[in-house]
């Protein structure tokens, strides 16, 4: 497999202050449980333009950026940028699944985006590139770089059901961990650090779950399309849920699991990305000073306060003060 010709970025964004969007969503919330309808799933930090500044500075090699929204456009966005593709939900999601406020449903249909490259990296708007990157940070010879570490699913939150649903599908097709046995060094790579011991300790058992990284996610369009063919019922069920249903939904992690169990991946080094909740944003300056860390996810939490968002904005403004060509 040769070098990749192009890699796209896909980023999801919503303006949670849009009255029309709020009214539309209100029509569907009665079908959702209270945790799945947590407002923090949609909250905008007011930092999205920094995302573009970081991409311009740290990933100038990107082929195209597909900004996926329900039709909302940030007022500061330069929509004429040649690398920018504005994608509305109704441009690629079948009409029977719309409107949708379920990020899992949106992500499971991304392969339908017109002109999307075979190799793409999926971002949420809280995931940032913080150091110069190369295509090889995401794909090597066409294979996604993934963290192939097994981890038992612990049912300590409703989202655990989504992970279980993903893993149930994987176990149906890969009951004997053949990829591990055929390519053991991909699963026992020193890049995983001490966590590789989990793979050794769990070898006698069937797949019980994975260590999931909440970071930019390299994906192959063909893998997503293949899984739709193999598991149409699960994909259609999730796509029909306008609001997240943790008990029945699957999500895009399934694509990574499939790549792992078919051996179609390259080990990802532990520590290249960091997950940080926004109430711990005071740690961000030290993380930005660590050149080994290339990606940071700053995840929302229910008890976040205005001071946390201000602090985040202040730190990003200090490090990325200059307007990008994606801004007008």
Per residue in 76-87, pLDDT (tens digit) is 999 999 999 999
Q: What is the mean pLDDT of residues 46-54?
A: 98
Residue 287 lies in a domain: yes
- Burial status of residue 164 (CB atoms within 10 A of its CB: 0-12, 13-18, 19 or more): middle
pLDDT in tens, 241-252: 999 999 999 999
Confidence of residue 173 (pLDDT cuts 50, 70, 90): very high
pLDDT of residue 79: 99
**Cβ atoms 110, 207 nearer than 8 A:** no
- Residue reference for tokens 């699957």: 250
Residue 174 lies in a domain: yes
pLDDT in tens, 6-42: 999 999 999 999 999 999 999 998 766 545 566 666 7
pLDDT of residue 34: 47
Residue 92 lies in a domain: yes
Residue 120 lies in a domain: yes
**% of the chain exceeding 90 in pLDDT:** 93
pTM of the model as a whole: 0.96
CATH number at residue 168: 3.90.550
**Cβ atoms 294, 137 nearer than 8 A:** yes
Using DSSP's 3-state secondary structure scheme, residue 24 falls into: helix
Q: Which domain holds residue 186?
A: 8-319
Decide which of 32 and 176 is more confident: 176
pLDDT of residue 36: 59
Residue 73 lies in a domain: yes
Residue 173 lies in a domain: yes
pLDDT of residue 41: 64
Q: What is the mean pLDDT of residues 195-206?
A: 95
Q: How far apart are CA 271 and CA 66, in angstroms?
A: 27
**% of the chain exceeding 70 in pLDDT:** 95
Residue 12 lies in a domain: yes
Name the average pLDDT for the chain: 95
pLDDT of residue 89: 99
φ/ψ of 40, rounded to 5, equals -65, -15
Instruction: Give the E-state strand segments of 51-170 in sequence order.
Output: 65-69, 84-88, 119-124, 127-129, 139-140, 143-146
pLDDT at residue 311 is higher than 90: yes
Decide which of 263 and 37 is more confident: 263
Q: How far apart are CA 306 and CA 46, in angstroms?
A: 12
DSSP-assigned states of every residue in 109-126: TGGGSTT--SEEEEEETT
pLDDT in tens, 268-285: 999 999 999 999 999 999
Residue 328 lies in a domain: no
Q: What is the mean pLDDT of residues 73-101?
A: 98
Domain count, the chain: 1
Q: What is the mean pLDDT of residues 215-240?
A: 99
- Residue reference for tokens 């990802």: 268
């Amino acid at each position: 497999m040769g070098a990749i010709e192009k890699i796209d970025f896909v980023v999801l964004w919503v303006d949670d202050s849009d009255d029309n969007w709020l009214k539309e969503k209100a029509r569907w919330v009665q079908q959702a449980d209270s945790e799945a309808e947590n407002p923090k799933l949609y909250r905008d930090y007011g930092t999205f333009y920094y995302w573009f500044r970081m991409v311009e500075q740290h990933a100038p090699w990107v082929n195209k950026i597909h900004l996926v929204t329900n039709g909302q456009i940030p007022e500061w966005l330069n929509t004429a940028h040649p690398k920018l593709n504005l994608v509305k939900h109704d441009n690629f999601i079948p009409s029977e699944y719309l409107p949708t406020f379920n990020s899992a449903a949106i992500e499971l249909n991304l392969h339908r985006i017109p002109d999307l490259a075979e190799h793409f990296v999926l971002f949420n708007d809280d995931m940032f590139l913080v150091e110069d990157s190369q295509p090889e940070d995401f794909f090597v010879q066409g294979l996604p770089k993934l963290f192939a570490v097994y981890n038992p699913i612990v049912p300590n939150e409703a989202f655990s059901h989504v992970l279980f649903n993903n893993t149930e599908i994987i176990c149906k097709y890969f009951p004997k961990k053949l990829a591990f046995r055929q390519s053991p060094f991909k699963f026992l790579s020193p890049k995983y650090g001490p966590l590789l011991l989990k793979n050794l300790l769990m070898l006698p058992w069937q797949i019980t779950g994975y260590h999931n990284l909440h970071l930019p996610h390299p994906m192959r369009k063909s893998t997503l399309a293949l899984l739709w063919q193999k598991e149409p019922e699960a994909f259609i069920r999730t796509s029909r849920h306008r609001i997240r249903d943790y008990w029945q939904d699957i999500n895009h992690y399934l694509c990574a699991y499939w790549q792992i169990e078919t051996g179609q991946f390259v080990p990802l080094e532990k520590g290249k990305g960091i997950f940080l909740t926004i109430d711990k944003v005071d740690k961000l300056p030290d993380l930005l000073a660590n050149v080994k860390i290339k990606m940071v996810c700053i995840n929302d939490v229910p008890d976040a306060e205005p001071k946390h968002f201000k602090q985040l904005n202040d730190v990003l403004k200090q490090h990325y003060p200059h307007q990008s060509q994606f801004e007008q």
